[in-house]
Structure 1
Amino acid sequence: MNSAYHRRVPSVSELASATSKQLQGTRSALLVPVGSTEQHGPHLPLDTDTRIASAVTRAVADRLAGTDESIWRIAPSIGYGASGEHEAFDGTVSVGTSALRSLLVEFGRSASRWASRLVFVNGHGGNVEALAAATALLRFEGRDAAWCSCTVAGADAHAGHTETSVLLHISPRDVMIDERVPGNCAPLRELMPELRRGGVAAVSEIGVLGDPTTATADEGERIFGDMVESCLRRIERWVPDRDGMLT
């Protein structure tokens, strides 16, 4: 398997591995993976969104290294998000939008005392409301914060072809191949009314929105590469909208 994800980033790029002394006098910028702990059907691990956000972040950091005066560092992942729509399934742990918003605001306020720039790299769609509200407030307060999501055009909604392909690329041993079964493949816009009323369980008994049986590692490498390129371009361009999302 061959990709930027598999090239090891120097340990000093990992915030948790650095010392306070190493950060003194440096122009540090911070990348923060934000994911979730929630059901991803019978075949994918609960931390799928966090794994994808973390992998994209590391690949982006690798590409950003040496491109400007900043030293880009990777913060430990935020592994709990707003996942209430998945709470009918065992293993899901949701902190909700309000708590996630507060966490992101306090994280940003604290980190911005020493980091010149802050980017939340999001792997879960349910986190968007909290990210937008938190980052807008941080920017209003004068902090150079922004966010982007690990999204690609044409992706299915949850634990289907897209996420399963990416996991087969970045974490193949943790995909339960024999457990893959198609879920509800209707367009998300058609499912949203019932999904809002009853969560994912109301539209898919197995918690899958899409078809994971078509997923391949080769397709996952392509999708992952598109995620990395999209986030990288947005960070390099650095044009946050009113909610702090990089465009």
Structure 2
Amino acid sequence: MASPGIDFVTMFYWLMKYVVIGPAVKAIFRPWIVGRSNVPKNGAAILASNHLSVSDSVFLPVLVDRRMSFLAKSDYFTGKGIKGWATRFFMKASGQIAIDRSGGKASEASLNTGLQVLGRGDVLGIYPEGTRSPDGKLYRGRTGIARMALEAKVPVIPVVMVDTDIAMPIGRTVPRIVRVGIVIGEPLDFSRYEGMENDRYILRSVTDEIMVALQRLGEQQYDDVYASSVKDRMPRRS
């Protein structure tokens, strides 16, 4: 009989991070990190990261000391066969939460899921661009991150992933063994906008401030359009 108070989900997460996935990732890829101390040791916070590769959601949780959750598209959790099982296992083991990104009510549900994570006092990882960059540029941010930051009253910490698109570019299933890095900036405080989480102009202003911080931190080329629009204009792979 299980002892009261044991959280098996938490136990599984830490087992994967410190015994299985974490040591393997560190040994193989030798990732480096700058600014680790900018992540608060306690309390809820949002880590806002650029998004170059699906592997971003593996490297960041492994190298950040706090337990964190990522909002990941539900497609990663529905694959079939051995590959689908392996992907689903890896996503759950690294603390990722499946969300529906189809818009409308699904977007509202995703926002509420993020708020639940923050309400527990945990760290939430978000990609403000909403999808992976198709070409290495930094694109316009979606305002959902601003709503969560203002409603939950938490700081937003900019994070830049470095060379993860070289390790695992879009379309590649087996990563290349290259050294990747993470740069974490100082927390952004938006308490001056308290109570304005329903003002769309404020939400856009907060989101743009986050994207400026990301651009300055990583020096990526910035394009003020949505990454999803760029992807829609690209030829479909056969």
* TM-score where L is the length of structure 2: 0.38
Query: Which of the pair is proportionally richer in strand?
Result: 2
Name the structure, 1 or 2, with higher relative contact order (CA <8 Å, separation 6+): 2
* TM-score where L is the length of structure 1: 0.37
